[in-house]
Amino acid sequence: MKYRSRTEITVLILEAANGGATKTKIMYKSFLSYAQLKEYFTMLIENALLEYEDGTQKYRTTEKGLRLLKIYNQIEELIPSTINTSNKDIF
């Protein structure tokens, strides 16, 4: 697997939690260890991008998190795919 930025991992977590998901489901969908997932959950919850629902015992992407996903996807569309590949293709 290629190197992933913190932003890409954050986006994978928010997409996995969209609509509600358990820790295990999010962990598998974002390809993270439990220790890594705990670190990201702390950051995402503190920044109000992810919330925990006691009744369903699931994590859900907040409205703020959904806005971040929308903006990320818009930016991704604007950037040519050659930027996301290795530099050898450019030179």
SS (H, E, C) the chain: CCCCCHHHHHHHHHHHHCCCECHHHHHHHCCCCHHHHHHHHHHHHHCCCEEEECCCCEEEECHHHHHHHHHHHHHHHHCCHHHHCCHHHCC
CA max distance for the chain: 54
pLDDT, tens digit (0-9, with 9 covering 90-100), for 37-80: 999 999 999 999 999 999 999 999 999 999 999 999 999 888 86
* pLDDT for 25: 97
Domains and CATH numbers, the chain: 6-82 (1.10.10.10)
| pTM assigned to the model | 0.82
Question: Which residue has tokens 């995402």?
Answer: 44
CA distance 73 to 68: 9
